[in-house]
């Protein structure tokens, strides 16, 4: 007795239509033909052979326009292959596999069309919104700017999220070495590569990246040294407002150049950077969270873990409990410090700092003696390690003089005023106290920053607790107001909303 499947197979077939793909007589599946099988085994009505559809991806495809799935994966559509008919046929097929293939195919096509949109802007000027600082200390103005395409060894990045750092405010107020205006500030951000210039091979359109205010060329003595991250080519230069390749700005308004800031200028929907100043990261990492790792958090974390290197069970003092200082405290907690003493003039920060590992707090205003003396009395001669994160020259001196003689190490992180001078008695050095400075927590941007992101992905580093506010790009000046009031830790600026 014939099985139900066989009986169904022997039913009289319906008339064939020349407009629909059908398998050749030698291949007759039990159920209605799926276009996937038809594409592999048969042809069109009248004996026309259908083009072969290899499994995805396949390097054998050579014809047709190139698309970018999600902006990264290459696919070539076959010339003469009816992609729409194939997708519809699969999607409407009663078989689960056919339906799944149809859904997947439409996803591929959608990714391709989105990729084509990116390809359409490659090599062309992009008009977008940017927050321009026309003069020192004045509110930023949202303007339409023109962003030129990237040149050799440059990339153009679509910024999705950015954050305000004290360094932006410092130079916006023209406290830096040489005021440069009009300018687009911003250097702490996350985005996606839109296009790349000649010679760029490490990243491609669609890659998720964190812009970094310093770079890593991977060729100079500093980059090749395991002890330094001070790249000769891409070291931070706050005075330079142009690209290093040709000495020109990639931003303009009505033909007038708008200057860059520390090679990043992330207060713009699109920006151009040297490829050495972007760190390619895990695309699964949420950019609205990990964007803060491109500057402040990594700086504080690395200052403690990479530079101060507190032994397990040691005592650490953190001067300044802003975002960088809290990250330094987090580093001390991760390192296993038994006492983490927060020092700040703002008592409202103390309770928040407990979340980051601080065990004790000192407000210099509460004492009639130098804070370094207070700390020495609290710790039987001085703390084992101190990390200064304010940029205040007095705090820098206090952080150094509060460490224990013989083995104490002080690390300076904050950026001082251009005219500031560090003064201490030479005996503090002769008594074997060590003073160190750090730059970006001694992290090499392209090599090490992806690993910091992975710490977050593995839940070993909590980033969410640093983020206290969020504003749309149109309200970017609110972020400046919050920082001026000392409210919150980090404010995320959403570029698209």
- Contact assessment for residue 495 and residue 473, using Cβ atoms and an 8 Å cutoff: yes
Q: Is residue 88 packed enough to be buried (19+ CB in 10 Å), middle (13-18) or exposed (0-12)?
A: middle
How far is 181 from 164, CA to CA, in rounded Å?
A: 18
Q: How many CB atoms lie within 10 A of CB 387?
A: 31
Within its chain, how far is the Cα of 28 from the centroid? 53
- Based on C-alpha coordinates, what's the Rg of the chain? 29
Provide the pairing of β-strand 154-163 with 188-196.
antiparallel
ω into residue 347 within 30 of 0, thus cis?
no
Question: Residues with Cβ < 8 Å from 241, sequence gap 6 or more?
Answer: 180, 183, 249, 259, 260, 261
* Side-by-side strand order, sheet with 434-437: 360-362, 339-343, 315-319, 385-388, 409-412, 434-437
| Count of residues making up the chain | 497
**Closest residue by Cα to residue 327 from 373, 292, 362, 289:** 292
Residue matched to tokens 């003089």: 401
Q: Which residues are known to be catalytic?
A: 165-167, 187-188, 217, 220, 223, 231, 235, 295, 490
Name the phi and psi angles at 135, rounded to 5.
-155, 165
The two structure tokens encoding residue 15? 């008339």
ω into residue 258 within 30 of 0, thus cis?
no
């Amino acid at each position: 007795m014939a099985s139900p499947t066989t009986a169904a197979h022997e039913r009289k077939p319906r008339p064939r239509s020349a407009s629909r793909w059908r398998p050749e007589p030698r291949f007759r599946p039990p159920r209605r033909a799926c276009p996937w099988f038809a594409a592999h085994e048969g042809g069109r009505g009248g004996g026309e052979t259908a083009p072969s559809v290899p499994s995805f991806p396949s390097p054998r495809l050579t014809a047709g326009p190139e698309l970018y799935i999600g902006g990264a994966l290459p696919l070539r559509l076959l010339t003469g292959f009816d992609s729409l008919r194939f997708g519809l046929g699969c999607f409407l097929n009663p078989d689960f596999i056919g339906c799944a293939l149809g859904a997947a195919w439409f996803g591929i096509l959608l990714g391709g069309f989105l990729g084509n949109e990116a390809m359409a802007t490659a090599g062309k000027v992009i008009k977008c919104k940017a927050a321009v600082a026309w003069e020192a200390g004045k509110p930023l103005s949202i303007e339409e700017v023109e962003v030129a395409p990237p040149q050799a060894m440059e990339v153009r990045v679509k910024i999705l999220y950015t954050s305000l750092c004290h360094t932006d405010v410092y130079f916006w107020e023209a406290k830096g070495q040489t005021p440069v205006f009009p300018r687009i500030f911003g250097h702490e951000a996350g985005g996606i590569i839109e296009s790349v210039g000649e010679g760029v091979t490490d990243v491609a359109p669609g890659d998720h990246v964190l812009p970094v205010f310093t770079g890593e060329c991977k060729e100079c003595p500093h980059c090749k040294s395991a002890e330094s991250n001070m790249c000769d080519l891409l070291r931070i230069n706050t005075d330079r407002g142009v690209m290093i390749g040709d000495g020109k700005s990639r931003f303009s308004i009505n033909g007038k150049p708008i200057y860059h800031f520390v090679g990043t200028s992330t207060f713009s929907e699109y920006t151009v950077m040297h490829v050495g100043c972007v760190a390619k990261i895990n695309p699964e990492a949420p950019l609205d969270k990990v964007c803060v790792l491109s500057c402040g958090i990594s700086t504080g974390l690395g200052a403690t873990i990479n530079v101060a290197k507190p032994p397990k069970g040691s005592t650490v003092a953190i001067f300044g409990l802003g975002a960088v200082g809290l990250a330094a405290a987090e580093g001390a907690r991760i390192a296993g410090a038994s006492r983490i003493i927060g020092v700040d003039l703002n008592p409202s920060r103390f309770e928040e700092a407990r979340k980051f590992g601080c065990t004790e707090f000192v407000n210099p205003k509460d004492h009639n003696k130098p804070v370094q003396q207070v700390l020495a009395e609290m710790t039987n001669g001085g703390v084992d390690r101190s990390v200064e994160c304010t940029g205040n020259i007095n705090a820098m001196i206090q952080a150094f003089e509060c460490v224990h003689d013989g083995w104490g190490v002080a690390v300076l992180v904050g950026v001082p005023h251009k005219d500031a001078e560090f003064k201490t008695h030479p005996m503090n050095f002769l008594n074997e106290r060590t003073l160190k400075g750090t730059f970006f927590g001694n992290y090499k941007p392209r090599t090490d920053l992806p690993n910091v992101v992975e710490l977050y992905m593995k839940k070993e580093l909590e980033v969410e607790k640093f983020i206290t506010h969020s504003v749309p790009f149109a309200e970017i000046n609110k972020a400046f107001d919050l920082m001026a009031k000392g409210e919150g830790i980090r404010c995320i600026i959403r570029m698209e909303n």
